[in-house]
Structure 1
Amino acid sequence: MMQKFVLAIVIAVAAFVGPAAILAQSDNLPRSTPEAQGVSSAAIREFVETANQEVNTMHSFMLVRHGHVVAEAWWEPESAEKQHVLWSLSKSFTSTAVGLAVAEGKLSVDDQVLKFFPDDAPPEPSANLKAMRIRDLLTMNTGHQDEVNLREADHWVKAFLAHPVPHKPGTHFRYNTPATYMLSAIVQKVTGQTVLEYLTPRLFEPLGIEDPKWDASPQGVSIGGYGLFLRTEDIAKFGQLYLQKGKWNGKRLLPSDWVEQATSKQVSNGSDPSRDWDQGYGFQFWRCRHGAYRGDGKDGQFCLVLPEQDAVIAITANTRDMQAELNVVWDKLLPAFGDKPLAENPDEQVKLKATIAKLKASR
């Protein structure tokens, strides 16, 4: 039976939100009309209509411009309060934990991986395994030809280290979720805390991210490469932190040089100018077209950061065609950003709300 999702949206307008309400929700990002932040309400409406028709199936969408939420939407049964699986978008959070551990002097990206697991290494490690560094884990350049299936392993770190490394680390890009698990295991080794515990006072609490959940391996290590559950606005806050080069409410949470390294092209991963998966890879972040970068996860989970537009876009979905999902963003939202505030357009804002109030996913 075809399941229908009713889309509920809130377009928070400054005129409708008094100072008391803002103070009562101080952990939330400030809200604004689209036009006040230089974005066309008509263009947002066109994006929502197109995404609803062409993306099977959208779950949520939030657009942040100049630090203000100008549009937000959820398809029932999703809601603002409900956490959503991030899948591999979790990887960008694990990278952040590594960056914080580097800043605290607990490790270096040039440390060899075997250094942290002397008791779990195979009896005769290969030269390539010995050469593998944290940097190679971060950039998906471990030297593996294929992924090891950790789910079938009794001990995940031992299984990773026993897996053949036919290529010299640093020379062969191969998307590798177990590599991110190893980053999580290394952070736990040097801090004595899971990545979830380590990030809580350093990232989640300062951003006002409440009760994050992260699945763990049989050894009690946060999975790292997936397994994190957050709200849509939590994703948007994370993107905004990176857009602000690691600063939040005037306080530095993450070194700016780490933000620069993590989100820059560290390795090449293709040459097709029309694909967002061929624009280079950083430290658990993908480069995009249009000068943007992103964390992303299976089925269409996105944290898009657009520095040139001073914007962040958070999307959750359940789709098999993630490139088509991004194409709607580039085709419909990218042209919507203006350099200056636009004249308020209450008619278009009403149309936007009315359009969204009627939306139902048909598949």
Structure 2
Amino acid sequence: MDKQIKALEDLITTEYSNITGIAINKNGQNIYEAYFNGYTPDDTTHIMSVTKSILSALIGIAIDNNYIQSPDQKVLDFFHDYKPKRGEKTIQDVTIKNLLTMTAPYKYKSEPYTKVYSSPDWVQAALDLLGGRAGITGEFKYSTVGVQILSGILVNATGMPIADFAAERLFTPLGIKKPRNIVLHNKEEHFAFLKECHPTGWVIDPKGVNTAGWGLCLSPRDMVKIGELYRNGGVYDGKRLLSSAWIEESTREQSRWGEMPYGYLWWLLEIGGNHCYAAIGDAGNIILVNPRKALTVAITSCFILRQVPIMELLTEQIVPVFA
């Protein structure tokens, strides 16, 4: 295996030069950990859309603890002061499940990132985009700005800042350090954060609400703990943090983007004939769980503009070596 690992690390340094760290657990034990580009085990990276899967876990925890009734609860149940535009009825039928499965309807063709992230209230701006004439069709429409509504739901349901709720119910029990809040004042700071190679914390909007679709910084060790929590049915170090029912629901097909099945903000995969699921972020950030092989892989990567074939690295190199 030493030769295989050496070949893998040579491949990473030449073909995946933006990878900053990898942590792999097998049967609950750490079997491999490596860091690149001057990173150490204590360094965090912006994990991009992996943040979405963390929000899914937090929604599940909120449901388990009766802050939220169920994923079928209407979105507007949590925004009593929100006034839909005249004649806008579709938004009244949108559920939390629609947000979790990327089947919520939106009034745009391409995501208006600048409009939302330059607004004084990102949740309000996302709500304003929700709805449309076609109604709820069940069509998959991937949206990073749209899932920000889940952050607003969590804040209003729990009465707590998201970072505090996450720390109390998820991060601290997993041994993950509570992230500091990051404020981005303008477009230049926003892009600087995306490009930064050693960021720490969790982005908040001008109202103090943490992001749902991006903006969280974690280490590979942190991420592999999230994966292990899911692989073990919601139990970590003998303590239940999340119901097994939520994990089962989150990691079975709820919607589909082309040939790619999707759960509750988790992607579903078949690798070597095994059902797997993954939290996937841009540039090569990922948590992969292969329950049958008792394997959890976490990879962090710095942002780069070109597409990173992270699934190829996982399926053709990492899983065959370590599974």
* TM-score normalised by length of structure 2: 0.85
Counterpart among 147, 163, 166 of residue 111 in structure 2: 147
Partner of 2:245: 257
Q: CA deviation at 1:322?
A: 5.1
Unaligned runs of 5+ in 1: 1-39, 272-278, 339-363
Secondary structure of 1:292's partner? strand
Aligned length: 292
CA deviation string 1:190-213 (max 9, x = no partner): 111122111112111111111323
Q: Write out aligned runs for 1:1-363 (5 A).
A: 40-107=1-68, 108-124=70-86, 126-144=88-106, 145-149=109-113, 150-163=116-129, 165-166=131-132, 167-169=134-136, 171-212=138-179, 213-271=201-259, 279-290=260-271, 291-318=275-302, 319-320=304-305, 324-337=309-322
SS of residue in 2 equivalent to 1:268: strand
Counterpart Cα distance in 1 of 2:129 and 2:110: 9
Whether contact under 8 Å (2:48, 2:285) holds in the other structure is yes
CA distance in 2, matches of 1:282, 1:297: 15
Q: Contact 2:283/2:308 (CA < 8 Å) preserved in 1?
A: no
> Offset at 1:124?
2.1
Offset at 1:320?
Answer: 4.7
- The offset of 1:136, in angstroms, is 0.4
Deviation at 1:121, TM superposition (A): 2.6
1:86 CA drift (Å): 1.2
Q: Is the 1:184–1:194 Cα contact (8 Å) retained in structure 2? A: no
Report SS of the residue matched to 1:79: coil
Give % identity: 29
CA contact (8 A) 1:87 1:298 kept: yes
Residues 51 and 325, structure 1, Cα contact 8 Å, conserved in 2 = no
1:177 CA displacement: 1.2
8 Å Cα contact 1:239-1:303 kept in structure 2: yes
CA separation of 1:189/1:102 partners in 2, compared to 1, >3 Å: closer, same or farther? same
**Alpha-carbon distance change, 42 to 308 in structure 1, aligned in 2, over 3 angstroms:** farther
What RMSD over aligned residues (CA atoms) do the two structures have, in Å? 1.8
* 1:337 positional shift: 4.3
Mind listing any 5+ residue stretches in structure 2 that lack a counterpart?
A: 180-200
CA contact (8 A) 1:148 1:159 kept: no
- Residues 272-329 of structure 1: CA distance to partner in whole angstroms, max 9, x if unpaired? xxxxxxx211111111231211112121111111112111111112355556222022
Q: Distance in 1 between matches of 2:130 and 2:96?
A: 17
8 Å Cα contact 1:121-1:161 kept in structure 2 = no
What secondary structure does 1:81 align onto? coil
Answer whether contact 1:114 1:121 (CA < 8 A) is retained: no
Q: Could you tell me how far apart the structure 2 residues matched to 1:285 and 1:296 are?
A: 8
CA deviation map 1:243-294 (0-9, x unaligned): 11111112211000101111221101112xxxxxxx2111111112312111
Q: Secondary structure of 2:257's match?
A: coil
TM-score by length of 1: 0.76
Give distance in 1, aligned partners of 2:306 and 2:3: 25
Distance in 1 between the 2:73 and 2:64 partners? 14
Describe the SS at the equivalent of 2:25. strand
Which protein is bigger by CA-based radius of gyration?
1
d(CA) in 2 for partners of 1:84 and 1:136? 29
Which deviates the most, 297-306 or 139-148? 139-148
Q: Do the aligned partners of 2:71 and 2:95 also contact (CA within 8 Å) in 1?
A: yes
Whole-angstrom CA distance in 2 between matches of 1:199 and 1:114 = 23
Comparing 187-196 and 162-171, the one that deviates more: 162-171
Q: Give, in angstroms, the shift of residue 42 of structure 1.
A: 3.3
Distance 1:87 1:209 in 2: 18
Kept in 2: contact 1:43–1:333 (CA 8 A): no
